[in-house]
Amino acid sequence: MNTVEYAMTSLETRYDRIFSPEDDLAAVVPIHTLDALERYIRDRLPPGGFLTAVLSNDLVGAFGAADSTNVEAMKEIIVFIYNRIPSSSWGSKEKVNAWIANREEA
């Protein structure tokens, strides 16, 4: 196994652990939100309006687009993002767009 293959395997293993229901932070995030975050991180697929707003630090947009489940879990979602996903994938609209644009690196 070459270094790139090892790095990808390690990354996939890390993501498997991060998005597992056994992860203490993942366990409190609504499953449909966790699934969308996983697709965004693993495959760099654009999330819906709610997660795009959260990832872009758009508080008003996030609450405006959230369903009732995500409104109730907003703190947990933000704590999960802050502690578990790469900082290069969130924080501003520009970072979110750059993460999605670099899909070939996924």
pLDDT in tens, 26-56: 888 999 999 999 999 999 999 999 999 999 9
CA count, 13 A, side-chain hemisphere, 43: 8
Per-residue pLDDT for the chain (106 aa), expressed as one digit of tens each? 444 454 445 556 666 667 776 778 888 899 999 999 999 999 999 999 999 999 999 999 999 999 999 999 999 999 999 999 999 999 999 999 999 998 755 4
- The first and second tokens of residue 59, run together, are 């508080």
Nearest to 89 by CA among 35, 31, 20, 42: 42
Place of tokens 């070459």: 2
State residue 20's pLDDT score: 74
